[in-house]
Amino acid sequence: MAYDTKHIRIDDYDYPLPDDRIARYPVPGRDGSKLLVYDKGKISSSPFTDLPSLLPADSLMVFNNTKVIQARLHFRKDTGALIEIFCLEPHTPHEYQQNFDSRGACQWICLVGNRKKWKQGRLERTIPHAGGQVTLTAEVVETQGTGEVVRFEWDDVSLTFAEVLEAVGELPIPPYLNRDTEEQDKETYQTVYSKIEGSVAAPTAGLHFTERVFRALEARHIVCDEITLHVGAGTFRPVKSEEIAGHEMHSEYIFVSRDSLERLIRHGGHCTAVGTTSVRTLESLYYIGIKLLRNPNLPENALHVAQWEPYDLPAEWRDTPVTDALQAIVEWLRSNGLNALHSSTQIIIAPGYTYHIVERMVTNFHMPKSTLLLLVSAFIGDDWRRAYDYALSHDFRFLSYGDSSLLMP
């Protein structure tokens, strides 16, 4: 079927999701979940622990090693009004690790709940820490898009902002769970391999993996590699326009080491991606590589992948071999004395998109009328309906804490 991607109607990607099918909590034991297997049109069910045996031996599997931060902060005004500040991404310093390492002050782009009750002035909160206390203040500096730039200051410069968040922040579980964050979420809403702080939502396809599963992957000589995409709050933002042309994708930070790029090249530029965030990162690499093939002297800030870039690419570049595109990034890194690519992506993957790097995908079941469901449909076509009908009729659990699927077109 030919698609006019920008004019896809989001209502065509709806399905009935009963409230009782949304998993409020994970199953006991991460790998105790179920796995829907879509293999060239055939659909079946397996325990998640069977995953390694379903993948080609000696293949490459790529994970997103981002770590969810305790990004939700609460302040109470003298009037009693509760103000919620949801940290989205660093503003000053702009680089994630520099910001987390800040002492005394930093700025973030935030969503502010109950903003109408906080017209001006500073909010203040005193918290116990290491036998003493620290006072944290917040003040809106400016409005930026749909968010606010908030300046945080704290009066103990021995603490980094990462430590402040750890002391005062709350882990932001998805709004559709319709419950408060609980202590156990601090563990269950992180993957066992999470390392690089910066996400406000977990790459949930990875929540099922355990040391037992990794040992089974190793036994089949499946190479496990890691990239980083920091998941933004936009991942929960519904498509409100009738056609997806009217939906603006959020921009997300990505980090890929030169070693990972070279490993991907050695595997022919193809892999199994764990989660839609890994998919978005990997597929963005192809377009970054093409940019550099067209102009090897581009600065780093010109490597951002815009939302519609894959669809607007001139025809003569659309058949560029994957390994050529990846090698162009490696050469650019070498010539600039860099060991890793730092960039960002707004890529939207929807029906009409041609996958270049991802051959197999591990992913959970997504919300109706979401960009993530469009991404799945671009991968397995209209069979997404058969897969989701199967999952609904076979008691699969849906969304972040739900069951998983292995998609092999």
Q: What number is the average pLDDT over the span 318-324? A: 96
Q: Give the C-alpha separation, 354 to 340, whole Å.
A: 26
Tokens of 96: 């994630």
Average pLDDT, the chain: 94
Residue 235 pLDDT class (50, 70, 90 cuts): low
**Residue 97 parent element (H or E):** helix 96-100
Instruction: Give the pTM.
Output: 0.93
Q: How many angstroms separate the Cα of 46 from the Cα of each of 149, 182, 210, 348? A: 47, 30, 17, 30
Q: What number is the average pLDDT over the span 186-203? A: 95
Q: What number is the average pLDDT over the span 235-260? A: 88
pLDDT of residue 236: 64
pLDDT of residue 3: 67
**Phi/psi of residue 94, each to 5°?**
-80, -30
Q: What number is the average pLDDT over the span 133-149? A: 92
pLDDT of residue 378: 97
Q: How many angstroms separate the Cα of 365 from the Cα of each of 30, 138, 252? A: 16, 37, 21
**Domain layout of the chain by residue ranges:** 5-67+187-408, 71-170
Taking a C-beta distance cutoff of 8 angstroms, is the pair 227, 280 a contact?
Answer: no
pLDDT of residue 238 exceeding 80 = no
Residue 1 pLDDT class (50, 70, 90 cuts): very low
Residue 391 CB-density burial (10 A; 0-12 exposed, 13-18 middle, 19+ buried): buried
Share of the chain above pLDDT 70, in %: 99
Q: Give the C-alpha separation, 376 to 365, whole Å.
A: 9
pLDDT of residue 129: 79
According to CATH, the topology of domain 5-67+187-408 is: QueA-like (3.40.1780)
Amino acid found at 46: S
User: Pick the residue with more confidence: 319 or 238?
Assistant: 319
Weakest mean pLDDT among 28-42, 115-129, 289-303? 115-129
Q: Give the C-alpha separation, 88 to 200, whole Å.
A: 7
Question: Residues near 24 by Cβ (< 8 Å), separated by ≥ 6?
Answer: 177, 178, 179, 401
Going by C-alpha positions, the residue among 35, 37, 15 that lies closest to residue 27 is: 35
Taking a C-beta distance cutoff of 8 angstroms, is the pair 405, 362 a contact?
Answer: yes
pLDDT in tens, 52-100: 999 999 999 999 999 999 999 999 998 889 999 999 999 999 999 999 9
pLDDT of residue 4: 84
pLDDT of residue 131: 73
Taking a C-beta distance cutoff of 8 angstroms, is the pair 102, 108 a contact?
Answer: no
pLDDT of residue 271 exceeding 50 = yes
pLDDT in tens, 348-387: 999 999 999 999 999 999 999 999 999 999 999 999 999 9
**Residue 88 parent element (H or E):** strand 82-92
Going by C-alpha positions, the residue among 18, 32, 152 that lies closest to residue 90 is: 152
pLDDT in tens, 28-47: 999 999 999 999 999 999 99
pLDDT in tens, 4-14: 899 999 999 99
Taking a C-beta distance cutoff of 8 angstroms, is the pair 346, 305 a contact?
Answer: yes
Nearest-10 crossing angle of helices 276-294, 371-380: 70
Q: What number is the average pLDDT over the span 141-168? A: 92
